[in-house]
Amino acid sequence: MFPVMKRSFHRGVGFCAYYASFFYFLILLPCLDRRETDLRFRGRLKRATRCALRAFGVEINVIGEEHLGDGSNAIIVANHSSWFDQMALVASLNVPVAFVANEKYFRYPGLRTVLKKLGSIPVFGTAVSDSLQKCRQVLSEGKWLVIYPEGTRSPALMPFRRGAAVLANQTGLATQPIVIHGTEAILPRKHNFLQVKPGVITLEILPRIHKTDRQSTQQYMARIEQCFVEQPDILPSPAAHRSPHESQAHTTTPPGTPQSDSCPTSLLMPNEPKVEQLRSSNLVGGFYLLAATLLTALSLALALSAHTWIWLAGQFGLAVAMIQWFAILHEAGHKTLFRTSWLNRWSIHAAGLLACIPGDCWRLVHAKHHYWTGWQDLDMTTQTLVPRKLHRFERLVLNVCWRLWIPLPATLYRLNNYWNLPRLWKIFPRPRERRLLVLNIIGYLAVYLALGTLLGWGFVARTIGLGLLITMSLQDLLILSQHTHIPMELANSQTDPHTHNTAHPVKPFPPLQQEVFTRSLIFPQWFARLILLNVDAHSLHHMLPRVPGYHLHRLQHRKTANSIRWWKWVLRAKSIPGEILLFQNRDQTGFYF
């Protein structure tokens, strides 16, 4: 009891001293100092930061200070896992530093003042060229610009973006890698200053890296990233973002090889259940199946009305119901909707009929999708989006449909991945798989043709036509948000250009490494849990594919890397042409969602 009270007391003292020191040095003293200069401000900021670190019981060691050179400025590239990273840099480096930071940090009054006085640069997702211009201006003034190439705080080293390399190429300045050790243990991401733990931060300043004329920005950034990957105490990034030599060293594991989907300790909060406790339930699965059935029946009844507004309500209800059936298909395909296997099996076909996707085709294709996530040209669902030169007609159709909300991508996604029998026949060579594919596609087509013939195609179009169009448009956004415009690896980049053979076959990424290749949309909690079965927690689902979707909300205290509110993603995605969204990634365009 007493150690806990003592620890809480020290944290409270540190918390108060942190704010008191910054108030004294950065607010009170400037009011009494009429000779405010950049040098005096930086001196006060350094003293305030050191006082705060001392109050928290944090020490800083600096290794390799001689690598800072003769005093000429450079672009500092550092890993980023905690708010204490920038505090350690400010307190330890005797050079004028400025930071490249997300524009949201410039909205906080006190922090905004500090960042602006340092000469820091706000980064807006759609104004990369303006940010680069401001960065060049700051560097021309002799300041040292700190860039976190991961783009966000993360306990593991995330893929590096190429902004620092582009800036080095434009200015001719060298990059100064600084490896920061120990800040994650002192204040992890998503923790507040009342949870700071005493410890030691080590700044390891590595030799400068100069860009050669023969190096591309991608090769230069890979060279910088390798300095951080080689550090023994830094959790490495996925293999797709290691050096080419390391990537080629991997060997292929046969499909079906079990991959670890255990949950790391950093993923769970202390009061959260263990992954092993989150099991499928026949009762919960039955609830979702019954809810979708009732919603569909009610919507069909409304859609048969002659009253226009009631009919429109029915169409909208059908659109929502078909989204729910898509989520049920996804869950049953993972065999996690019900605990009983045969219930999952029949649910696949019931949901597939209403989601317009053959059940077994979905199950087989989706299994390969999870196996090859991260390799864009090996993942069946992303193969068609591998960067290529588009014909003028393709660009026109794609951009017009995207702008007018015509669900072309969602339609092609279904047809090419789940109805294209010649393509599926080549990908799945086993006789049993081929038999299932043929029976599914023929059987589903027969059901649709029978319903259309018996009820009349005009009656079917009037009853479900608008609802189908709405749901396809909405699913267009849901499906495209999950993997598009995210940097992925290409397996054919490992191919020998002379023999056209893959000398070193690539290896699938384990589930826990797939977070960086996925995106999660944040919906209202009631909609996510009741309608989507938490399909929107897409990154978490890829990391823990055996956890039932309707339990994922119990693990969402940890925000995954590429998470964004659904309406923000829709607005930003619709602001760029469809060809750019689908066939390029954020490292190429500089457009970060």
pLDDT digits (tens, 9 = 90+) for 139-190: 999 999 999 988 778 777 777 888 888 898 888 899 999 999 988 888 887 6
Q: Does the residue 261 lie in any domain? A: no
Residue 527, pLDDT > 50, answer: yes
Q: Does the residue 113 lie in any domain? A: yes
Q: Does the residue 275 lie in any domain? A: no
Number of domains making up the chain: 2
Q: Which domain does 577 fall in, by range?
A: 358-491+506-589
Average pLDDT, the chain: 83
- Six token digits for residue 195: 């949870």
What percent of the chain is helix, strand and coil (3-state, nearest 5)? 60, 10, 35
For residues 480-498, average pLDDT: 76
For residue 239, what pLDDT is reported? 41
Between CA 538 and CA 523 the distance in angstroms is 12
pLDDT digits (tens, 9 = 90+) for 377-407: 999 999 999 988 899 999 999 999 999 999 9
Query: 547 and 402 share a domain?
Result: yes
Name, in order, each residue with C-beta under 8 angstroms of 358's C-beta and a sequence gap of 6 or more: 352, 418, 419, 437, 440, 441, 443, 444
Name, in order, each residue with C-beta under 8 angstroms of 191's C-beta and a sequence gap of 6 or more: none
Q: Does the residue 289 lie in any domain? A: no
Between CA 260 and CA 274 the distance in angstroms is 15
Q: Does the residue 36 lie in any domain? A: no
Pairing of strands 199-205, 175-181: antiparallel
For residue 212, what pLDDT is reported? 82
**Residue 384: CB atoms within 10 Å:** 16
- The CA-atom distances, in angstroms, between 32 and each of 48, 52, 114, 236, 271 are 16, 22, 18, 48, 48
- The CA-atom distances, in angstroms, between 192 and each of 15, 82, 84, 184, 189 are 10, 11, 11, 13, 9
**Among residues 198, 227, 243, which one ends one of the domains?**
243
Residue 439 φ then ψ, to 5°: -65, -40
**CA gyration radius, the chain:** 27
Which residue reads 């189908």 in tokens?
Answer: 468
Strand, coil or helix: what is 232?
A: coil
Between CA 397 and CA 414 the distance in angstroms is 18
For residues 487-511, average pLDDT: 68
**Among residues 243, 278, 302, which one ends one of the domains?**
243
The answer to whether 373 and 514 are in contact (CB under 8 A) is yes
The H or E element containing residue 97 is strand 97-102
Q: Does the residue 350 lie in any domain? A: no
pLDDT digits (tens, 9 = 90+) for 259-305: 333 344 334 444 445 666 788 999 999 999 999 999 999 999 999 99
- Six token digits for residue 27: 């607010």
pLDDT digits (tens, 9 = 90+) for 294-304: 999 999 999 99
- Six token digits for residue 512: 């826990």
Q: Does the residue 304 lie in any domain? A: no
Between CA 103 and CA 330 the distance in angstroms is 37
Helix/strand/coil (H/E/C) assignment for every residue in 20-46: HHHHHHHHHHHHHCCCCCHHHHHHHHH
Between CA 251 and CA 508 the distance in angstroms is 9
Sign, CA dihedral 521-526-527-532, equals positive
For residues 62-70, average pLDDT: 85
Between CA 164 and CA 77 the distance in angstroms is 7
Residue 281 φ then ψ, to 5°: -135, 130
Q: Does the residue 78 lie in any domain? A: yes
pTM of the shown model: 0.63
Between CA 434 and CA 362 the distance in angstroms is 13
Between CA 73 and CA 368 the distance in angstroms is 49
**Among residues 183, 216, 243, which one ends one of the domains?**
243
For residues 417-445, average pLDDT: 95
Q: Which of 384, 579, 391 is nearest to 485 (CA)?
A: 579
Least confident window among 21-25, 281-285, 436-440:
21-25
Query: 230 and 374 share a domain?
Result: no
Which residue reads 């700044």 in tokens?
Answer: 203
Q: Which of 121, 73, 77 is nearest to 99 (CA)?
A: 121
Name, in order, each residue with C-beta under 8 angstroms of 472's C-beta and a sequence gap of 6 or more: 407, 410, 411
Q: Which of 332, 368, 369 is nearest to 350 (CA)?
A: 332
Name, in order, each residue with C-beta under 8 angstroms of 7's C-beta and a sequence gap of 6 or more: none
